[in-house]
Amino acid sequence: MIPLSVAEIAAVTGAELDAVPDAKVLVTGPVVIDSREVAPGSLFAALPGTRTDGHAFAVAALAAGAVAVLAARPVGGPALIVPDVQAALGKIARAVIDRAPNVTVVGITGSAGKTTTKDLAAQLIEKLGPTVAPRESFNNEIGHPLTVLKITSQTRYLVSELAARGLGHITDLCAIAPPRLGVVLCVGHAHTGEFGSLAAIAAAKGELPAALPADGVAILNIDDHRVAAMAHRTPARVVTFGRSPQADVQAQEVGTDALGRPRFSLVARGETAPVQLQLYGEHHVQNALAAAAIAAELGMSVADVATGLSAAVARSRWRMEVTRLPDGITVINDAYNANPDSVRAALTALSTLAHGRRAFAVLGQMTELGDDAERLHETVGEAAAAAGLAGLIVVGEGAAPILVGAKTAASWHGEPVWVPDAATAVRAARDRLRDGDVVLVKASHSIGLERVALALTGERPIADEGPRS
């Protein structure tokens, strides 16, 4: 982190000091919300969690070397008292960014692919200079400022993942670290429940290009008409990416290698270079193009972008994570999250990867879909049947309409079953899978189906328990 004194932090947050012996003492970081991650020089932010209140860990944090606690009330040691700890985190992050004029901020948003694009972009940009990128999906009003607070005086680039669960969220995140480059990947069905409509989702994602400065760059997916239309919402220069021959950064001749990983010709600035991704699923072409557009804007040559993309790996887990077991079964763990678009994309990837072998899917509930949830689950069941699976294992109450949808597909010869929980799903899968089969495991994060995939790969045995939600 770029060091700030306790007095400076108080000034930017409006905090009252409590039991602080010397306000000139520096917070050198890291700023943490988990007391187990405290190091000497840390600031511990006591957030009111849903299960435990961070204030209960303040004493432990101070004992572990925290300079002070950012808190809503006195904690029995040095504290900066603010009415809203989360909002104060954002203000500290903004103060740090304001002290780092050499850092170029890149913001990435979209309904799907943010983390993948962030990981790909970071692997490219790291070659241009010291880069800070979020851990996992640190993309909200807590994870975003925590990421910003990781920059040091050496940092040149900050890649940030920006998530929206409602209108105004992205605007707020952009105020914490104003991006100069802003990427919008797609407008899809994730979190439709909170937004109500795709138009509302588009309006929310469009807050990123709208927040860019006139000398910034809006990097927009030309293949998604709702994203392409955001060109009218930004004062920044527009750079487009996509498969369309109109795109500034294009993928041409898209195909897959023998393992089902996409390859394409990257076309930009009149140059062409071959890319062979290490990721599974053709939907990642879009994410790779977005990362390519970012790196090219930051000065990387098209040839270097192509080489970098071809070497880049999936940094964040449980996103189309493919494990080939010694017994010849292949497990695709895509249990990080799910919505109708990403399940369809995963089913397509499953078929490509299976390439004539028997394909199975273990599917759980897609959460946060609102009033349309039942119908959307049914359509996913229809898509599963259309994918020609040998077997479909539907897990949990909330996912049951997937089974209904699959059964309506008259010409499908595969076997659909419903099981109540993850442990039963593992048994059902083991009963069915044999040498050479490929199985996809996917559901929303809170359903915890990664436990099924980890049990099937042998990484972690499953406890005999019911579903988490």
Ligand X SMILES: Nc1ncnc2c1ncn2[C@@H]1O[C@H](COP(=O)(O)OP(=O)(O)OP(=O)(O)O)[C@@H](O)[C@H]1O
Interface residue with ligand X, options 35, 104, 116, 424 (CB under 6 A)? 116
3-state secondary structure of 175: helix
The smaller minimum CB distance to ligand X, of residues 240 and 287, is found at: 287
Distance from C-alpha of 456 to C-alpha of 321, rounded to nearest angstrom: 13
277's CB contacts (< 8 A; 6+ apart) are 261, 262, 263, 284, 285, 288, 309, 310, 312
Return left, alpha or beta for 324; rule: phi > 0 is left, psi -120 to 50 is alpha, else beta: beta
Closest distance to ligand X from the beta carbon of 75 (Å): 32
- Of residues 313, 319, 357, 355, the one with CA closest to residue 337: 319
Residue 55 makes contact with ligand X by CB under 6 A: no
Closest distance to Mg ion from the beta carbon of 112 (Å): 9
- Of residues 108, 204, 203, 105, the one with CA closest to residue 148: 105
The smaller minimum CB distance to Mg ion, of residues 112 and 329, is found at: 112
The interaxial angle of helices 373-386 and 400-408, nearest 10 deg, is 50
How many residues of this chain bind ligand X (CB under 6 A)?
Answer: 23
Contacting range for Mg ion; rule: CB under 5 A; set: 109-117, 389-397, 434-442, 459-467? 109-117
Distance from C-alpha of 267 to C-alpha of 290, rounded to nearest angstrom: 13
Residue 444 makes contact with ligand X by CB under 6 A: no
Closest distance to Mg ion from the beta carbon of 337 (Å): 8
Residue 219 makes contact with ligand X by CB under 6 A: no
Residue 123 makes contact with ligand X by CB under 6 A: no
Closest distance to ligand X from the beta carbon of 221 (Å): 9
Pairing state between β 104-109 and 79-81: unpaired
Residue 35 makes contact with ligand X by CB under 6 A: no
Interface residue with ligand X, options 44, 138, 195, 336 (CB under 6 A)? 336
Residue 114 makes contact with Mg ion by CB under 5 A: yes
Residue 182 makes contact with ligand X by CB under 6 A: no
Contacts (CB under 5 A) with Mg ion, residues 127-186: 137
Residue 104 makes contact with Mg ion by CB under 5 A: no
CB 290 within 8 A of CB 185: yes
The smaller minimum CB distance to Mg ion, of residues 44 and 138, is found at: 138
- Of residues 235, 304, 233, 232, the one with CA closest to residue 268: 304
Query: Site residues (CB under 5 A) for Mg ion?
Result: 114-115, 137
Query: Site residues (CB under 6 A) for ligand X?
Result: 112-116, 137, 139, 163, 186, 190, 281, 283, 286-287, 319-320, 334, 336-337, 341-342, 345-346
